[in-house]
Homo-oligomer: A and B are copies of this chain.
Amino acid sequence: MANVSGEMKAAAASPSPCDDCDIRDLAICGTLRLDEVRRLNSIMTSINFAAGDPVVDEGEPADFVYTLTAGAVRLYKLLADGRRSVTGFLFPGDFLGVSIRGNYGASAESITPVTMCRFQRTELERLMEEIPTLERRMFARATEELYLMQEQIVLLGRKSAAERVASFLRGLAERQEKRHLPANPVIVPMTRTDIADYLGLTTETVSRTITQFKSKGLISVESASRIRIVDNDQLDDLAEAV
């Protein structure tokens, strides 16, 4: 269950309701002035989720914007008959709920225990009007997201199962490096079914492909959630990096 810490502290006299997350780590804060960071901080609230908790539901009014500070989250959409499409995974530093449309575009669930910082949308928007740098950074984030989605469209539209899994592993490694973590081993917090729903495949095909990579010596599977990339070049070739 979600445990909201900030709201209680806000009721107390604390001027800074978000102690659990260091705001200076957030990607949006890059070039903000100290007073601007303080104002952003003042509208933040920290929330914890246990593994598997729902965070937001597709279609609900998007009253809050979140940034992930610890853990991993899956985004997904469901078809009427229950088929699921995982549209993305969030790691620390990523945003959730940024859109001008009034409703969340996808549901979100925690994969691991998760800590997030939450902003009331209306307050964040007011702050964005006052701090143009902030708005520009959010815009930059949105276009970065557009780029990644285009890559995913190419993957889903034209890549083979092996190419999809290779691209996926390479992508996880890249994101680890961006977060200043070692690229190896790749930490895979999501299930094979999550991966399958993300890559447009079945659990079985994902599993078989990973086994195949293992026997070809491209990777070594230390555990289901720890995969070491052994032959980076060959994996990159498979991923069809353009």
Using CB atoms and an 8 Å cutoff, list the residues of chain A in contact with chain B: 77-81, 83-87, 98-101, 105-106, 129, 132, 135-136, 138-140, 142-147, 149-150, 152-154, 156-159, 197-200, 240, 242
Contact = CB atoms under 8 A, between A and B. Distances in A.
B105 A140 contact: no
A99 B149 contact: no
B242 A80 contact: yes
B100 A143 contact: yes
A34 to B, nearest CB: 23
Contacts of A86: 157
Number of copies: 2
Given A87-B153, A146-B146, 13 more contacts: A77-B154, A79-B240, A85-B154, A85-B157, A98-B143, A101-B143, A101-B147, A105-B146, A135-B139, A149-B149, A149-B153, A153-B156, A156-B200
Contacts of A77: 150, 154, 242
Contacts of A200: 156-158
Contacts of A98: 143
A145 B139 CA distance: 13
Contacts of A150: 77, 87, 105-106, 149
7 contacts: A83-B158, A98-B143, A105-B147, A156-B156, A156-B200, A157-B197, A158-B200
Contacts of A84: 158
A98 B139 CA distance: 11
A197 B144 CA distance: 23
Nearest to A157: B200
B79 A154 contact: yes
A153 B154 contact: no
Nearest to A159: B79
Contacts of A159: 79
